[in-house]
Amino acid sequence: MNLNKSLIAQRFAKAGQSYTEQAIIQKQISQHLCQLMQGYCPEHLPHILEIGCGSGNLTQQLASNFQVEQWYLNDLYPQVQQHFQSNLPIQWMIGDIETLDLPLDLNAIVSSSALQWINDLPALLTRCHAALKKQGWLSFSTFGIDNFTEIKQLTGQGLDYWSINVWRQQLEQLGFDVIWLEQQHLSMQFESPKAVLKHLKATGVTGASVQQQRWTKQSLIDFYENYQKFKLENDQYTLTYHPVYCIARRKE
């Protein structure tokens, strides 16, 4: 799937405030990524590039736990700037990271819940490798092949995700040491299939995960009926998140 970046930006910008309230799983993921970084990365990371900073979940975590002298913060749309403290030493990089020039001699490149929106991951990872200092850190979370499996099963629509084995293979081929690589399956529960769609819309995820789906009254009825197979004994409906976490380091 070739992702429509302008549509993605529109959906996330529109969901700006509701994202902060609804992105419960994304907050947990950024917290876990920060904890992993604390276990492996040095406390002093002077120059950090964050890809897809969003509402600042990861930025805030890292700012509290690492010594950073310069933040390079990237996202598709300028509205994200409202979520950040003015006292942070930020250089904004607004736009599609696939077309922007990356700063050089970085100590770390980080990203949480954003790399799944990249059209050409190998090309971006190659550029990240070049932008890092030797022994620089690439630390990120993204999502795996079971992400939103309920939606994909019912609509046939969804993003193309790499398996954890493909991530390891790609990173090692590019000259990274993969220090830590893990995956989780996290489940949210909702009172109705309609509430599932409202959650996706409130987090901006419908910008691409179901961007090809053209909802009609009948297709919505069918979707709600078919979602019954994901109903639990407590009358709640599941939505699966499949985060993948990686701590990698550029070789000499």
Domains of the chain: 5-145+160-186+242-250 (3.40.50.150)
Q: What is the pTM of this model?
A: 0.90
Query: Could you write out the DSSP letters of every residue in 143-194?
Result: E-TTTTHHHHHHHS-------HHHHHHHHHHTTEEEEEEEE--EEEEESSHH
- C-alpha span between 129 and 97 (Å, rounded): 14
pLDDT at position 129: 98
pLDDT in tens, 225-243: 999 999 999 999 999 999 9
Confidence of residue 207 (pLDDT cuts 50, 70, 90): very low
pLDDT at 34: 98
